[in-house]
Amino acid sequence: MATQLVYTPVKEIPGIVASLRKTFNTGLTKDVEFRKQQLRQLLLFMDEKKEALTEALYADLHKHKMESNVGEISSIVDECQYMIKNLNRLTKAVATTKRFKMNALDKTIIRKEAKGVVLVIGAWNYPVNLLLMPVVGAIAAGNCVALKPSEVSANTAAVITQYLPNYLDKRAFAFVNGGVEETTVTLEQRFDHIFYTGNGVVGKIVMKAAANHLTPVTLELGGKSPAIVAPDADFDVTANRLVWGKFFNNGQTCVAPDYVLVTKDQQEKLIVAIRKTLLKYYTSNPQKCESYGRIVSTRQFDRLKGLLDHYDDSQIAVGGNVDRDDLYIEPTVLKSISYKDEHVMQQEIFGPILPIVPVDNMEQAIQIINVRDQPLAMYIFAKSPAIYNNILDKTNSGGVVVNDTLMHLQELSLPFGGVGASGMGSYHGEKSFDTFVHERSTMIKSTDFESVLAARYPPYNDDKDTMLSFLVYGLPSSASAKFKTLMTVWSATWNILFKKSSKL
C-alpha cells in the first residue's frame, strides 16, 4: 500500500481532545440536520473509498473482497441508512406516564441528549467495522468523536485516517494514531464515554483509566465462544456453517466458534463432515485459495504456532501445516481435546484452529460451559426445540445463534454485546444510539395551583399528611374504605385551602 500510517505526536493529543470539547460546547453536533449530513458523508466515504478499503484489508489480513464487503463495509452502510431514516424519531423527547398525582398537570419528558466528547478505540481484526460502526451511533447521538484505529492493521488505519477527514467535519471528528504510548496518553484525557473493542487484558486497562474521570465505558471483548452439536443435528449443514463461521477472516473473529462440544460417539462423524466441507470451501491446498485469509502479524502467528506445537498427529484431525513467511496456518481441527486442556482451552484461540471436545451428553456440555466465564457468543446445533431451549435456559452468553454461526452479528436489529468477562454494554441499531446518549429526565412544573401544592410545605400537620398520603398511595380497594378515605381527604383539603389546619 502506498499510504503509510503516521503516528500522532504524543504532545498533540491533549490539544486534539480539547479542540473537540470546544466544538461540542458550541452546540454544532447537536443539530439533527448536521448529524444527518455527517452520516451522509460517511456513506459517501464508504462508497467512494470502497476499493481503497478493500485493498487495505487484503494487505492487512488477506481478506477476499467478499469477506470485506460482508464483514466490514455493508453493515456500516446499512447502519448509516438506518440512522438517517430514523433520527427524527430517535432524538424526539419521550413523555412519561406520571405516577405521583401531585404532578398530574405537569410535563414530564425524557430528553435524548449527546454525552459530549467520546472516544472510539477500534480493533485490528475488523479494522473498518469495529471502528466505524460505533462512530455511526456516536454521530447519530450528537457527539464529537475521537477515533483511535488499531495500529496493527496499519494499512486500513492509514486509508481511513487519510481519507475520512475529507468527508467529516474536522471540527467535530479527529484521529489519534499510534501504539501503547499514544493510547495511554489518549486514555489520560477526559472523555464522556469510551467505546473499546478488543481483549479483556486491555479492557481492564481502559476501564481503570476511565475510572479516573468516572467515564462510562462500553467494552466489546471476547472469550471462548462454544459450539454445541446435539445428537439430532444435521451434520452436513452443521459442518458447512461451523466451518464458515470458524474460518471466516482466518478465525480472527471475536465471535468465531472457539471450540466444539459433541458427544463422544459422534465426534468422528462430525470430523468427516468438516473435512468434506473444508475441501469444498478451500480446496486441497488452502494456501493457494484466494478465499482463505492470513494471520495479521508474525506475533499472532507465533502465538498460534506455539499452541499447535503441543499436539501431535494423533490429535490433529485436519490440517496443521504452517508457513511463517506467508503468515499462513492451514485450517486445523484438533480432536479428543479435554475441556481442561492446558493450551487451546485456556485462552481465546483467535485463529484457524478448532478443538473438538467430546462429552458424554448435553448436560455435561452445559456444565463445561458454565464453569467458564460467560462467552461473547454461543452456537447450538440441534433440531429439537426441547434440546436447544434446555441449553439456552441453563447457560448464559452475550448472544446466541441456533443452527448457524456469526449471523447475529450481521443482524443489526439485534443488540450486540457481551456479559461478564466478555464485555459490558451493547450496540447496533437503536442500541448504538442509546449507548451514546444521556437520557435526561426533565420535569416542567406549572406555577398554578400553589395553594394545593402547599400541602408539601412545612409546618407539617395531620391534614397535610392525609392529603399527601392520598396522592402517594391512592384509594383502598374496598368500596366502604374508599368512601371513608374520600371524605377524610375532602375534609383535609378544605382545611388546607380555607381553614387553619390543626397542628401535629
The per-residue pLDDT for range 168-195, each reduced to its tens digit, is 999 999 999 999 999 999 999 999 999 9
Residue 355 is assigned to a structural domain of this protein: yes
Catalytic residue among 80, 144, 254, 348: 254
> In this structure, what DSSP letter does residue 70 have?
I
How many domains does the structure of the chain reveal? 3
- Do 160 and 78 lie in one domain? The reply is yes
Best CA proximity match to 80, nearest among 43, 128, 30, 50: 43
Residue 253 is assigned to a structural domain of this protein: yes
CA distance 208 to 210: 5
CA distance 220 to 232: 33
pLDDT at 500: 57
Provide the angle, in degrees to the nearest 10, between the axes of the packed helices 50-61 and 32-48: 60
Best CA proximity match to 96, nearest among 471, 445, 442: 442
pLDDT at 250: 97
Cα three-residue angle 434-399-144, rounded to 5 degrees = 25
Q: Which domain holds residue 326?
A: 226-416
Catalytic residue among 55, 72, 79, 220: 220
pLDDT at 504: 45
Residue 368 is assigned to a structural domain of this protein: yes
User: What CATH number does the domain containing 278 carry?
Assistant: 3.40.309.10
* Residue in the block written with cell 452456537: 379
Residue 220 appears among annotated catalytic residues: yes
- Do 180 and 232 lie in one domain? The reply is no
| 73 burial via Cβ count (<10 Å: 0-12, 13-18, 19+) | buried
Best CA proximity match to 205, nearest among 149, 108, 121: 121
- Which residues of the chain are under the pLDDT cut of 70? 1-2, 499-504
Task: Give the torsion sign (CA, 250, 254, 259, 260).
Answer: negative
Torsion angle of the four alpha carbons 431, 433, 439, 443, in this order, in degrees rounded to the nearest 10: -120
Bridge partner list, 195: 120, 218
- Do 244 and 377 lie in one domain? The reply is yes
Provide the angle, in degrees to the nearest 10, between the axes of the packed helices 462-473 and 479-498: 130
CA distance 135 to 122: 10
For β-strands 416-417 and 259-263, DSSP reports them as unpaired
Q: What is the maximal distance between C-alpha atoms in the chain?
A: 97
Q: How many residues does the chain have?
A: 504
Best CA proximity match to 71, nearest among 484, 409, 433: 409
Residue 374 is assigned to a structural domain of this protein: yes
Residue 403 is assigned to a structural domain of this protein: yes
Those residues with Cβ within 8 angstroms of residue 18's Cβ, 6 or more apart along the chain or in another chain:
none
E strands present in 276-368: 316-318, 322-323, 328-329, 332-334, 353-359
For β-strands 322-323 and 328-329, DSSP reports them as antiparallel
- Do 263 and 207 lie in one domain? The reply is no
Q: Give the phi and the psi of residue 463 in degrees, each rounded to 5.
A: -65, -45
Residue 177 is assigned to a structural domain of this protein: yes
- Do 230 and 212 lie in one domain? The reply is no
Best CA proximity match to 225, nearest among 201, 249, 261: 261
Residue 254 appears among annotated catalytic residues: yes
- Do 401 and 485 lie in one domain? The reply is no
Torsion angle of the four alpha carbons 283, 285, 288, 293, in this order, in degrees rounded to the nearest 10: 80
> In this structure, what DSSP letter does residue 171 have?
T
Assign 3-class secondary structure to 195-224: EEECCHHHHHHHHHHHHCCCCCEEEECCCC
* Residue in the block written with cell 459422534: 266
* CA–CA distances in Å: residue 77 to residues 84, 248, 344, 410: 11, 21, 36, 12
| 329 burial via Cβ count (<10 Å: 0-12, 13-18, 19+) | buried
- Do 366 and 471 lie in one domain? The reply is no
Bridge partner list, 227: 260, 379
Say if CB 62 and CB 416 are below 8 A apart: no
- Do 412 and 465 lie in one domain? The reply is no
Residue 40 is assigned to a structural domain of this protein: yes
Residue 95 is assigned to a structural domain of this protein: no
Q: Give the phi and the psi of residue 228 in degrees, each rounded to 5.
A: -110, 125
User: What are the tens digits of pLDDT across the range 253-274?
Assistant: 999 999 999 999 999 999 999 9
- Do 193 and 313 lie in one domain? The reply is no
In one-letter notation, the amino acid at residue 321 is N
- Do 213 and 244 lie in one domain? The reply is no
DSSP string, 356-411: EEEESSHHHHHHHHHTSPPPSEEEEE-S-HHHHHHHHHH---SEEEESSSSHHHH-
Those residues with Cβ within 8 angstroms of residue 164's Cβ, 6 or more apart along the chain or in another chain:
42, 45, 147, 173, 175
User: What CATH number does the domain containing 187 carry?
Assistant: 3.40.605.10
- Do 273 and 359 lie in one domain? The reply is yes
Q: Report the chain's terminal Cα–Cα distance, integer Å.
A: 83
- Do 460 and 488 lie in one domain? The reply is yes
Cis peptide bond N-terminal to 459, omega within 30: yes
